[in-house]
Amino acid sequence: MDWRERALAGRPDLRPVAVEALHVTLVFLEYLPEKEIGTAASTAFEALDGLRAPRLAVREVRPVPSRDPRLFAVDLADEDDRATAVHQAASAALAAARLYRPEKRPFWPHITLARVKRGERRVPPPPEDPAPPAAPFDAGLVTLYRSTLRPQGALYEPLARTVAGDALDPASGSAAD
């Protein structure tokens, strides 16, 4: 994340997303009663059994929307559509269990880097120098989060975790040997 800190340095018009909140959203569940959270986690996680861990790489930083952006996100290349397969498996299982209504828009693997501060207009993207890291990375850790919206940004509380594929050690969240 050193790159992100350098790219956003001196940008009073942007609010960087907290490092611990950086993630790729696979499925957005909306509100679930507390008693259904365990069922949602087990339903989604069981659907991932046998899938390969996603391998992602940074393509570019994109404004969202492209004109008069509200945020800037890292667009991710999805090697062999592995992240898409994880998304589709979790989405289908949760929809079949009536815990989720699939979105109409296509899945887009990305990480939100920064949000435009309220009241700012015509905000330019972060500079291309320094360039974002190009090395691909494995993203096998899958977490069910509860998000709480706050004025200073969303707070993400991990409720359950699993691993898609064998790329990560679930106990440490780091690459397995």
What's the rounded Cα separation, in Å, for the pair 86 and 26?
A: 8
What's the rounded Cα separation, in Å, for the pair 147 and 129?
A: 32
What is the length of the chain? 177
Nearest CA-CA partner of 61 in 141, 135, 127: 127
Q: What is the mean pLDDT of the chain?
A: 88
Confidence of residue 39 (pLDDT cuts 50, 70, 90): very high
Residue 133: predicted pLDDT: 87
Domains and CATH numbers, the chain: 2-175 (3.90.1140.10)
Check residue 124 and report its DSSP letter: P
List all residues 6 or more positions away from 41 whose beta carbon is below 8 Å from its beta carbon. 144, 159, 160, 162
Q: Is the peptide bond before 130 cis (omega within 30 degrees of 0)?
A: yes
Residue 165: predicted pLDDT: 66
Q: What tokens does 99 get? A: 């815990």
pLDDT (tens digit, 9 = 90+) per residue, 50-72?
A: 999 999 999 999 999 998 999 99
Contact present, 154 and 147 (Cβ < 8 Å): yes
Average the pLDDT over 4-12 and give the result.
90
Average the pLDDT over 101-106 and give the result.
94
pLDDT (tens digit, 9 = 90+) per residue, 111-139?
A: 999 999 988 988 998 888 788 888 999 99
